[in-house]
Amino acid sequence: MQIRIIDQGSGILADILDRIHEPFFTTKEQGTGLGMPVSCQIVEEHKGKVNILSSMHGTCVEVNLPALT
């Protein structure tokens, strides 16, 4: 199963993308920096994978989860 979450924001620069899984890394004044690492950890614990595709026109986060057997 694949879920895609798409936004039309300003995208994620490469240096931020490199650190996006780092706990407590944030560029927001009020951010915790836990949104992505915790979400990715939950997906990985379900044997899934997260791919982030980003450009200056927005971001697409793909969540791939294996079928239940």
Ligand X SMILES: Nc1ncnc2c1ncn2[C@@H]1O[C@H](COP(=O)(O)OP(=O)(O)OP(=O)(O)O)[C@@H](O)[C@H]1O
Binding footprint of ligand X on the chain (CB under 6 A): 7, 9, 12, 16, 20, 25-28, 31-37, 59
How many CA within 13 A on the CB side of residue 27? 8
To the nearest whole angstrom, how small is the minimum distance from the Cβ of residue 41 to Mg ion? Answer: 14
Q: Does 23 bind Mg ion (CB under 5 A)?
A: no
Among 9, 23, 35, 66, binds Mg ion (CB under 5 A): 35
Closer residue to ligand X, CB minimum distance, 27 or 51: 27
Alpha helices by DSSP H, listed for 1-69, are 14-17, 35-45
18 CB-near residues (< 8 Å, 6+ apart): none
* Contact stretch for Mg ion (CB under 5 A) within 3-11, 29-37, 44-52, 55-63: 29-37
Q: Which residue has the tokens 């994620």?
A: 12
